């Protein structure tokens, strides 16, 4: 090449030339790097998502069961039917309570790991949260089927502690109770809490690690009780972690359809509604509209979180 | 932080943290005990006796082997695809600033941030529209899509810690771009890729929600388990399979942890 810089000679061979060209044109390199992943994710993933979104604006003919390819909001109107609205409210309430409970249970683990655990213990805590986080979802759900079974370990424990009356009293409470734990909302709640808990611990721990101990000492020195230090100093500073974790627990609960199917009452959650409408009922538009609901709820949730400044601190 | 100071933790905190950890691990422990129970009709606790019989029974089950085989093949190929796509994406995002950079991070994370059922039904309806028959490859398509993010995250973290001056030095010393990649970049990001790949493998191996939508008649091991969960027919075999699935996902996770631990020793760090 005539205009090649005087200092270095062009590299030899095809590879050398290609390498030179790419070095001089970073944009071309960037384009080459990005094209394969963007093609894959853009076409396969985003394409599918848009196809799904489009389908939610179609409707199904009640008599023939044939999908009518005309744009309409009728399917979204069906979501407002009492039975469907029930499903949405039930799922959102469950996601909300699972998130709050996860934050409460996760806090001591995250705080201990962040502040007191050192060296070997720190690694142990980290692994102790990482392993349940990554280990098989189905195996975890299966474990709870074993635990909650009528002849399983939980009933055995209550029996041996002579506390069966307590469990029965709890189960007789309307709404959260039921015939047994494995067919009640409480059972579903427990399994959700168990499966998503590690997703809350890790971001919480990350946030708590960043709280300087001197803040807590200063708070105590200035006369705050431990409870005040917690509510005025520690908790606000841990909030970004809580919100980051809650995004997982909330979103994952909203979309799950396997846990409520295996442990819980027969009343549907959003995921199950999507699954049954697209499967046996063949009502793809309604399934698609149902699938859009968690996306909208999550979008709203993220927007609120952003307004609270949760992302600035992360 | 005064890490040298011996901190004494309040007892209630210790108990609450310990109880939380127990809550996370006891259920998994139960899986291991149930795999050896002699009881085959119910989930009776405590197990009336212990036996190794079910390991042999499961070993001789062709349907379990078939499902395991399919799961391993799907996970292997999805991991390969995710490794390539995730590394390319991470390389682009880490080195340069360009318009739409944030959007790319979002697209990569979206398949795992949105509930699995949405990814699943979206892919399924897209396959229907495009009239693609369900097969081994439709499962891979779905799995690779959400596996990209773990490779991407691991590779990106390592790229950010790898000093750019190493690459410049290599180029200055006469290596071309490909040689630089082979002898300088790859050794630096190797363990991160291995870790990301292992996590991707674990993620794909036990994925069930997306798979129910993208698989036709074929059953991966998690699908096999799901059927047993909904309609238990052969509890002892399911117990053993649950244990095996746990171990197969557990080992890569442990390996990934040890591979990415102590990332401070990465060359060029803290130049």
Q: What is the pLDDT of residues A139-192, one digit of tens each?
A: 899 899 889 888 888 888 888 888 888 888 888 888 787 778 888 889 999 999
pLDDT reported for residue B216 = 81
Residues B34, A44: C-beta atoms closer than 8 Å: no
Residues B205 and B104 in one domain: yes
Residue B195 resides in a domain: yes
Q: Give the distance from CA A298 to its chain's centroid.
A: 10
pLDDT reported for residue B37 = 83
Most confident of A11-15, B45-49, B151-155: B151-155
Sign of CA pseudo-dihedral B95, B96, B101, B104: negative
Residues B146 and B169 in one domain: yes
Find chain B residues with C-beta within 8 A of A288's C-beta.
121, 125
Residues B31, A143: C-beta atoms closer than 8 Å: yes
- Region of poorest pLDDT, from A121-135, A184-198, B93-107, B238-252: B93-107
Contact A298, A96 (CB under 8 A): no
Residue B255 resides in a domain: yes
Residue B89 resides in a domain: yes
pTM of the entire predicted model: 0.84
d(CA A62, CA A47): 28
Q: Is the pLDDT of residue A261 over 50?
A: yes
ipTM greater than 0.85:
no
Chain A: closest CA distance from residue B246 (Å): 6
Q: List the one residue out of A181, A196, A96 whose CA is nearest residue A141.
A: A196
Which has more pLDDT, A282 or B129?
Answer: B129
Contact B249, B205 (CB under 8 A): yes
Q: Of A111, A142, A254, which has the smallest distance from its Cβ to B115's Cβ?
A: A254
Whose structure tokens read 């270095």? A8
Residues B71 and B184 in one domain: yes
Region B64-80: mean pLDDT is 92
Residue B202 resides in a domain: yes
Region A6-30: mean pLDDT is 76
Contact A87, A270 (CB under 8 A): yes
Residues B151 and B24 in one domain: no
List the single residue in A with minimal CA-CA distance to B168. A23
Region A182-207: mean pLDDT is 90
Which has more pLDDT, B78 or B227?
Answer: B78
Q: Which DSSP symbol is given to B37?
A: B
Q: List the one residue out of B77, B116, B57, B47 whose CA is nearest residue A146.
A: B47
Find chain B residues with C-beta within 8 A of A116's C-beta.
7, 9, 13
pLDDT reported for residue B268 = 42
Number of A/B CB contacts below 8 angstroms equals: 250
d(CA B204, CA B113): 16
Q: List the one residue out of A83, A267, A271 whose CA is nearest residue A175.
A: A267
Q: Is the pLDDT of residue B270 over 70?
A: no
Chain B: closest CA distance from residue A195 (Å): 8
Residue B268 resides in a domain: no
pLDDT-above-70 percentage for chain B: 94
Residue B267 resides in a domain: no
CA distances (Å), A225 to each of A222, A233, A236, A239, B235, in order? Answer: 9, 11, 16, 20, 53
Residues B117, A129: C-beta atoms closer than 8 Å: no
pLDDT reported for residue B271 = 33
pLDDT range class, residue A3, cuts 50, 70, 90: low
pLDDT reported for residue A5 = 52
pLDDT reported for residue A109 = 92
Contact A121, B26 (CB under 8 A): no
Contact B119, A282 (CB under 8 A): no
Could you count the other beta carbons within 10 Å of the beta carbon of residue B9? 14
Task: Identify the H or E element spanning B258.
Answer: helix B235-260
pLDDT tens per residue across span A68-100: 777 788 888 888 888 889 999 999 999 999 999
CA distances (Å), B229 to each of A78, A83, B234, in order? Answer: 32, 27, 10
Residues B88 and B189 in one domain: yes
Residues B243 and B137 in one domain: yes
pLDDT reported for residue B74 = 94
Give the structural domain span for B32.
Answer: 10-51
- Region of poorest pLDDT, from A88-97, B85-94, B100-109: B100-109
Q: List the one residue out of A192, A14, A205 whose CA is nearest residue A109.
A: A205
Residues B67 and B27 in one domain: no
Residues B125 and B200 in one domain: yes
Residue B266 resides in a domain: no
Residues B120 and B243 in one domain: yes
pLDDT range class, residue B250, cuts 50, 70, 90: confident
Chain B: closest CA distance from residue A175 (Å): 24
Chain A: closest CA distance from residue B193 (Å): 16
Provide the CATH number for the domain around residue B223: 1.10.3720.10
Q: Of A112, A125, A141, which has the smallest distance from its Cβ to B14's Cβ?
A: A112
Torsion of CA B166, B167, B169, B171, to 10 degrees: 160
pLDDT reported for residue B4 = 43
Domains contained in chain B, number: 2
Residues B41 and B85 in one domain: no
pLDDT range class, residue A306, cuts 50, 70, 90: confident
pLDDT reported for residue A314 = 44
Residues B257, A294: C-beta atoms closer than 8 Å: no
Contact B235, B241 (CB under 8 A): no
∠ CA A135-A139-A140, rounded to 5°: 75
Residues B132 and B255 in one domain: yes
Cis preceding-peptide flag for B46 (omega within 30 of 0): yes
Find chain B residues with C-beta within 8 A of A113's C-beta.
17
Residues A278, B124: C-beta atoms closer than 8 Å: yes
Chain B: closest CA distance from residue A302 (Å): 12
Our separate counts of H helices and E strands in chain A read 16, 2
Q: Is the pLDDT of residue B84 over 80?
A: yes
Residues A138, B117: C-beta atoms closer than 8 Å: no
Task: Identify the H or E element spanning A145.
Answer: helix A137-148
Residue B136 resides in a domain: yes
Residues B17 and B69 in one domain: no
């Amino acid at each position: 090449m005539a205009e090649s810089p005087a200092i270095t000679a062009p590299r030899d061979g095809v590879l050398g030339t290609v390498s030179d060209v790419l070095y001089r044109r970073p944009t071309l390199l960037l384009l080459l790097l990005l094209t394969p992943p963007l093609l894959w994710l853009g076409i396969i993933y985003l394409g599918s998502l848009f196809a799904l979104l489009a389908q939610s604006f179609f409707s199904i003919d009640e008599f023939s069961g044939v999908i009518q390819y005309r744009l309409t909001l009728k399917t979204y109107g069906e979501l407002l039917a009492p039975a469907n609205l029930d499903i949405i409210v039930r799922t959102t309430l469950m996601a909300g309570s699972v998130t709050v409970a996860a934050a409460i249970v996760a806090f001591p683990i995250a705080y201990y790991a962040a502040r007191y655990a050192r060296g070997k213990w720190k690694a142990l805590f980290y692994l102790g949260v990482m392993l349940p986080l990554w280990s098989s979802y189905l195996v975890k759900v299966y474990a709870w089927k074993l635990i909650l079974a009528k002849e399983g370990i939980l009933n055995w424990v209550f029996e041996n502690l002579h506390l069966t009356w307590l469990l029965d009293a709890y189960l007789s409470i309307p709404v959260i109770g039921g015939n047994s734990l494995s067919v009640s909302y409480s059972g579903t709640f427990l399994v959700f809490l168990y499966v998503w808990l590690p997703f809350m611990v890790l971001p919480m721990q990350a946030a708590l690690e960043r709280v300087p101990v001197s803040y807590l000492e200063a708070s105590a020195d200035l006369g705050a009780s431990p409870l005040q230090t917690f509510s005025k100093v520690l908790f606000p500073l841990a909030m970004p972690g809580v919100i980051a974790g809650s995004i997982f627990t909330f979103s994952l609960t909203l979309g799950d359809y396997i846990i409520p199917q295996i442990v819980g009452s027969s009343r549907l959650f959003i995921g199950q509604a999507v699954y049954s409408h697209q499967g046996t009922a063949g009502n793809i538009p309604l399934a698609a509209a149902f699938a859009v609901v968690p996306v909208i709820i999550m979008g709203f949730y993220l927007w609120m979180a952003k307004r609270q400044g949760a992302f600035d601190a992360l | 932080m005064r890490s040298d100071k011996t901190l004494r933790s309040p007892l209630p905190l210790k108990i609450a943290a310990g109880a939380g950890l127990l809550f996370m691990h006891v259920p998994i422990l139960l899986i291991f005990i149930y795999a050896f129970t002699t009881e085959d009709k119910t989930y009776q606790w405590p197990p009336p006796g212990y036996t190794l019989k079910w390991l042999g029974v499961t070993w001789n089950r062709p349907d379990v082997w078939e499902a395991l085989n399919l799961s391993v093949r799907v996970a292997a190929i999805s991991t390969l695809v995710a490794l390539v796509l995730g590394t390319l994406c991470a390389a682009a995002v880490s080195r340069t600033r360009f318009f739409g950079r944030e959007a790319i991070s979002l697209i990569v994370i979206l398949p795992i941030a949105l509930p699995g059922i949405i990814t699943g039904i979206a892919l399924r309806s897209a396959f229907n529209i495009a009239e693609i028959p369900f097969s081994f490859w439709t499962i891979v398509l779905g799995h690779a899509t959400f596996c990209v993010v773990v490779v991407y995250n691991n590779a990106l973290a390592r790229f950010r810690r790898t000093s750019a001056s190493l690459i410049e030095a290599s180029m200055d010393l006469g290596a071309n771009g490909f040689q630089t990649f082979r002898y300088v970049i790859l050794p630096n990001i190797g363990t991160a890729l291995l870790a990301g790949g292992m996590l991707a493998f674990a993620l794909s191996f036990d994925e069930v929600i997306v798979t129910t939508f993208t698989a036709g008649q074929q059953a991966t091991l998690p699908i096999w388990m799901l059927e047993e969960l909904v309609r238990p027919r052969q509890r002892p075999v399911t117990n053993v399979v649950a244990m095996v699935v746990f171990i197969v996902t557990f080992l890569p996770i442990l390996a990934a942890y040890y591979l990415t631990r102590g990332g401070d020793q990465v060359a060029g760090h803290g130049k």
